[in-house]
Amino acid sequence: MKPERILILGPESTGKSTLASDLSTHYNEPWVPEYAREFLDQLGRNYDYEDLLEIARGQVGIEDQLALEAEKFLFCDTDLRVIHIWSEHRFGKTDPWVLDQIQKRAYSLILLTDTDMPWEPDPLREYPELEMRQYFFEKYLTLAKVSGFPYEVVSGNESSRLKQAINHINKYLNNSNPV
């Protein structure tokens, strides 16, 4: 049986990694970290358009590898939709491979993280302004709506988001592991 892949999607500094980690702990299942962070930490320069394809391939690779270790759930801290949005925003185009993979890859549920978390500075983050975070949130919301997968917005503090996420997982995936 394939694990149910749960995508955690949202703008920068909206608690995606924290939620993925918290869900991983709660369900004792793996979570997929954001490959871009590791890639960019080692890059030693600003990223360019071609780097986004390499990041995308790395994200897909680590997600598929960790899916082999998952029993029931795999929590994905981002996916290729993020590469698509950043690529369009920064370079005005997206590699066709990324767009193709977005269409081919399936998720059982998308948890969209709201912008109500405080901004946490980080050298890899680019847009601390709430207006830009909201701009990206709207982009991800649009992609969630057209994905064909169920999606829900999670908001509030860390514990509130975890409870909401668990409730959404129970709702959509008939899980018997309540909060």
pLDDT of residue 175: 60
At 122 the pLDDT is 58
| Residue-level pLDDT at 37 | 81
Q: How many Å separate Cα 23 from the centre of its chain? A: 13
Contact partners, residue 27, CB within 8 Å, separation at least 6: 72, 73, 75, 177
The DSSP 8-state label assigned to residue 123 in this structure reads: T
How much is the pTM? 0.91
Residue 9: the pLDDT is: 96
Which residues have C-beta within 8 Å of that of residue 136, sequence separation ≥ 6?
10, 11, 12, 85, 89, 127
Q: Flag whether pLDDT at 47 surpasses 50.
A: yes
Query: Which residues neighbour 179 within 8 Å (Cβ) at sequence distance 6 or greater?
Result: 162, 163, 166, 167
Residues 6+ apart with CB under 8 A from 157: none
Instruction: Determine the pLDDT at residue 127.
Output: 57
Predicted confidence at residue 179, as pLDDT, reads 45
pLDDT of 118: 75
Ordered structural domains, the chain, with CATH: 4-173 (3.40.50.300)
Dig out the tokens for 118 from the structure.
């405080």
